[in-house]
Every structure is written in C-alpha cells, then in structure tokens.
Amino acid sequence: MKNLFLLFLLQWLIHPALYSQTDSRSSSITEVIPGKGYIEPPSDAIILFDGKDLNKWESPEDNHYLAAWKVSDGFFTAPAGFGYIQTKRSFGDCQLHVEWRTPSPYKGKGQNRGNSGVLLQGLYEVQILDSYHNDTYADGSAGSIYKQHAPMVNVSLPPGSWQTYDIFFTAPVFKPNGDLEKPAYISVLQNGVLVQNHVEIKGTTYVSPPVYEKHEALPLKIQGHDSPVSFRNIWIRPLPAKK
C-alpha cells in the first residue's frame, strides 16, 4: 500500500516534466497589454450564466458540490478544494465566451496561483491561471491548451482584473469503430488578443499523455482547482458540425 502511494506521488511529481510539450517557461512569452471592453452576448447565444443563478449547471459527481460554487454580485466563485461543475446541456462545435477573474491578493505561485480552466466537452482544457508575472511551464499558463500549446503571447491582466476568453472549438470526429477521424481544433482570444490560432488538440489535456476516446457531444466543464477564481457573463453559440 505504501509502495502504491509512493508510486502515485512519483507519477504526479514527474508527469509535468515528462509530458510537457515544450521545455520553455511562461516568462519567455512576449507580454501584450490588451485593449478595453467586453463582449455582450449576441441574440442567438445560449446564456449559460447571466449573473443570477447556476440553473444551467450541475455537478458531475455529487450534486451537493454545486452548492459550494457561490453566486454573488453577478458572478460565481469556485470553492476551496478540487472538482468541476458542468453544463446540463451537451455541446459539440461552438463559440464560447467566458469572463473570469483570479483572486487578489493572490496566494501561492506557479500552478497554485489562480488555477481553474474551461474544459470543452469536459475533456480539453483552456487553462485559467494568474499568469501576471507568475512563472510556470509555458503550456500551463493562461491561454494555453493545457500541456499541449503555450499561448502565442502573454496578455494576462493583474490579479483581481476581469479577463475574457472567446473560444472557437471544432469537436473531434470519430469513425464508427471508435478510431479518430479528425482531431479537435481550437482558437482562443484572451482579452481580445489571439493566443491560439486553430491549433490541433492532441487528445485529453491532462498531466498524462493525451488520448482520444470516442465520444459524442458532451457538457462544458469549469474546473475547481482549490483557488477562488470567479466567473461571469458566460454564453455559447453551438455551431453546425462541418462534414
């Protein structure tokens, strides 16, 4: 039992180094100061959070856990501990808008400073992190596709600032036998600046190597990563799947 625990611990310690797709540090990414302004939802958007309640959301594991995500003053905040909330509805190809804010004053450093994430189809994470003068591995910083693609520039605002993601996601396509036919692709604007330009998602975005397993449309998830990251103004536009 003790050996198993040590093995588990060792895996956690070495995985980030082993499976990082780049050797570079986030401090090497060029810094860009964004313009001002936020995007209001267009008329055909599905509003996933309008500042009032989490009625469009549920907990994947334990429904009591959803209650820990507190709504106040037009935003909601991830609780202490680890876990996810997900939309009740499933999505495929989509345009997604999310506004998020890492805590100020901040606590911790690296991956323990303002960590959350937006997981397309619950599997493919656009990392949320306080990446304002906070060095970590480049493909784990804000605007990264976690462990796969570092952002092209660092456009992060200081902790306590509201920031935006506008995400354009093409879901993976699978053959009837379960093999991958087409990988997922993603583009991301952070604070209106392009940080990911139609990059290929290589599979699940985790500390272990990416894999694809056949799935249909799935819920959008938001990550609880033991940091009180807040969210507001979340909307999505499902897009017709390309043939």
H or E segment and range at residue 19: helix 2-19
Asked if 123 and 146 count as a contact pair (C-beta separation under 8 A), the reply is no
Asked if 220 and 31 count as a contact pair (C-beta separation under 8 A), the reply is no
* Nearest by Cα to 230 from 111, 106, 81, 114: 114
In angstroms, what is the minimal distance from the CB of 118 to Mg ion? 9
Instruction: Provide the CA 157 distance to its chain's centre, in angstroms.
Output: 17
Whether the bond into 105 is cis, omega within 30 of 0 = yes
Residue nearest to Mg ion according to CB distances in the complex: 117
In angstroms, what is the minimal distance from the CB of 239 to Mg ion? 25
What whole-number distance in Å separates Cα of residue 187 and Cα of residue 96? 11
In angstroms, what is the minimal distance from the CB of 128 to Mg ion? 6
In angstroms, what is the minimal distance from the CB of 234 to Mg ion? 16
Query: 147 vs 202, which CB is nearer to Mg ion?
Result: 147
Query: 126 vs 189, which CB is nearer to Mg ion?
Result: 126
Q: Tokens 């808008």 identify what position?
A: 97
Query: 68 vs 207, which CB is nearer to Mg ion?
Result: 207
Give me the residues that bind Mg ion (CB under 5 A), please: 115, 117, 127, 223
Query: 83 vs 117, which CB is nearer to Mg ion?
Result: 117
Query: 180 vs 207, which CB is nearer to Mg ion?
Result: 207
For residue 123, give both structure tokens: 């599997």
In angstroms, what is the minimal distance from the CB of 101 to Mg ion? 15
